[in-house]
Amino acid sequence: MKLLVVEDEPGLRDMMTEVLKQQGWVVETASTYADAEEKIGLYEYDCILLDLMLPDGNGLDLLAELQQKGNPPQVLITSAKAAVEDRVKGLDLGADDYLPKPFDLGELVARVKSQLRRRQGGKRTLQIGNVELFPDERRAKVDGRPLELLHKEYHILHYFMTRPMRVIDKQALAEAVWGDHADQSDNYNYVYQQVANLKKKLKAAKATLQIKSVYGFGYKLECEDAGKPETDTAEKD
Ligand code: CA
């Protein structure tokens, strides 16, 4: 899961980044409206934490641009602007939640978790074939048995399982798991290596999922027993 923290106050931005990274998420930051606008245009995020009062613009104006994206990220507004009109306007323009400043960092994490859960259909677990993921705890199981994964391997598997049967571009995967700067590297050996390790572990655990290479482009997640009904513990928000 990849987040963008849009916040011009350096101390707060650092604290937010730190606590969100502790959750194992990839966290990028923007300190100005222009910076946020550029990043949103170039990269994909799962959740954006949006301050409204920025030195060079109003965060609300970014919401319209975000809504034009194919798979718009969840947006959590974090703002000192406590006026009811701003809150209503933000939600009207497509924001998903609003957390007024000053806020508790624990509450921030809980709200982000809730947004990320919503992004995966309100489920606490993701299951495809005999592979099950528990995103809140960053754990995976195959046939009910724990699958030991390194941090990046877990994130790669999560990325694939939220995009089953779709061709995954290796650059998009690299940016989602390693962060925006991954695009500055022409060499994807680190991606190939981690995906190869994950494939080995899935195979050894007799997972019915397979990560197939798509020559010259990237990967695709396929499942042997794709027809099997999914089980999940749905959660009401
Ligand atoms: Ca601000």
**Ligand 1 centre distance from Cα of residue 9 (Å):** 6
**Ligand 1 centre distance from Cα of residue 52 (Å):** 6
What kind of architecture, by CATH, is found in domain 2-119?
3-Layer(aba) Sandwich (3.40)
pLDDT at 232 over 70: no
Q: Are 73 and 46 in contact (CB under 8 A)?
A: yes
At 71-106, the pLDDT tens digits run 899 999 998 866 778 788 888 999 999 999 999 999
**Ligand 1 centre distance from Cα of residue 182 (Å):** 28
**Ligand 1 centre distance from Cα of residue 51 (Å):** 6
Averaged pLDDT, 125-130: 94
Of 170 and 121, the one with more pLDDT: 170
pTM of structure: 0.85
**Ligand 1 centre distance from Cα of residue 62 (Å):** 14
**Ligand 1 centre distance from Cα of residue 189 (Å):** 39
pLDDT at 73: 95
How far is residue 191's CA from residue 196's CA, in Å, rounded to a whole number?
A: 8
Sequence spans of domains, the chain: 2-119, 126-223
Q: Are 75 and 66 in contact (CB under 8 A)?
A: yes
pLDDT at 237: 46
At 36-46, the pLDDT tens digits run 999 999 999 99
Q: In what order do the strands lie in the sheet with 97-100?
A: 26-30, 2-6, 47-50, 74-79, 97-100
Report phi then psi at 205, rounded to 5: -85, 5
Coil, helix or strand at residue 135: coil
Of 174 and 229, the one with more pLDDT: 174
CATH of 126-223, one of 3.10.180.10, 1.10.10.10, 2.60.120.10, 1.20.1250.20: 1.10.10.10
**Ligand 1 centre distance from Cα of residue 82 (Å):** 13
Helix axes 189-204, 151-161, angle to 10 degrees: 80
How far is residue 200's CA from residue 220's CA, in Å, rounded to a whole number?
A: 16
SS3 track for 166-235: CEEEHHHHHHHHHCHHHHHCCCCHHHHHHHHHHHHHHHHCCCCEEEEEECCCEEEEEECCCCCCCCCCEC
**Ligand 1 centre distance from Cα of residue 56 (Å):** 10
**Ligand 1 centre distance from Cα of residue 123 (Å):** 33
CA dihedral over 124, 162, 118, 57, signed as positive or negative: positive
Extract long-range pairs of 99-102: CB within 8 Å, 24+ residues apart.
none
Which residue has 């695009």 as its token pair?
183
**Ligand 1 centre distance from Cα of residue 29 (Å):** 13
